Amino acid sequence: MVDDVELKHLRRCVELAAKALEAGDEPFGSVLVAGDGEVLAEDRNRVAGGDKTRHPEFELARWAAANMTSDERAMATVFTSGEHCPMCAAAHGWVGLGRIVYATSSQRLVAWLTELGVSASPVRPLPIQEIVPGVKVEGPVPELADQVRALHHRSHAKSKDPARQA
């Protein structure tokens, strides 16, 4: 279960996901919060330029490695609109970050994308715990599911734009 403060961080993640979508990127956003509750960094997906590794959770893991001590990283929490993919989960584990709280699961995302006729991703959508068994993970948070689903629907509608299919 997440409390009101955590829900606020997750709502910010969804807001960042919406900004990503507006910018032509994929709708994902994440926030890094210190053990004392201070918001340290946030980012959104930036894959439109062609680098498909520009996921916000990956950027935040590298930011944490560059700017935080290992103790600070262990106490921190990463909030994110969609569960970490295996690449980002591994980065999170390698830099020794603490808890993860996600709004919607990878499993749910796959179901939505299948429903939208989007082809499978080249990376298997394994749950975070299969990649980083030691990390505490919280999610999904049902009250945000509709909003996140709507973003993925809009994202797909854009990619079906005839001008971009040609």
The answer to whether 68 and 77 have CB atoms below 8 angstroms apart is no
Any idea what the Cα angle at residue 99 is, between residues 95 and 102, rounded to 5°? 110
Q: Which stretch in 2-10, 83-91, 104-112, 149-157 sits in contact with Zn ion by CB under 5 A?
A: 83-91
Element (H, E) at 115: helix 106-115
36-65: contacts with Zn ion (CB under 5 A): 55
Please, which residue, 61 or 68, has the CB nearer to Zn ion?
A: 61
Please, which residue, 55 or 73, has the CB nearer to Zn ion?
A: 55
Q: Is 92 in the site for Zn ion (CB under 5 A)?
A: no
Please, which residue, 35 or 90, has the CB nearer to Zn ion?
A: 90
Q: Which stretch in 30-38, 41-49, 79-87, 113-121 sits in contact with Zn ion by CB under 5 A?
A: 79-87
Q: Is 85 in the site for Zn ion (CB under 5 A)?
A: yes
**How many residues contact Zn ion, by CB under 5 A?**
4
Please, which residue, 91 or 144, has the CB nearer to Zn ion?
A: 91
Q: What whole-number distance in Å separates Cα of residue 12 and Cα of residue 133?
A: 27
Return the residue of 88, 109, 131, 148 that touches Zn ion, per CB under 5 A.
88
Q: What whole-number distance in Å separates Cα of residue 64 and Cα of residue 72?
A: 9
CB of 56 to Zn ion, least distance (A): 8
Cis peptide leading into residue 140 (ω within 30°):
yes
Contacts of 158 (CB under 8 A, 6+ apart): 21, 24, 164
Q: What whole-number distance in Å separates Cα of residue 119 and Cα of residue 129?
A: 25
Binding positions for Zn ion, rule: CB under 5 A: 55, 85, 87-88
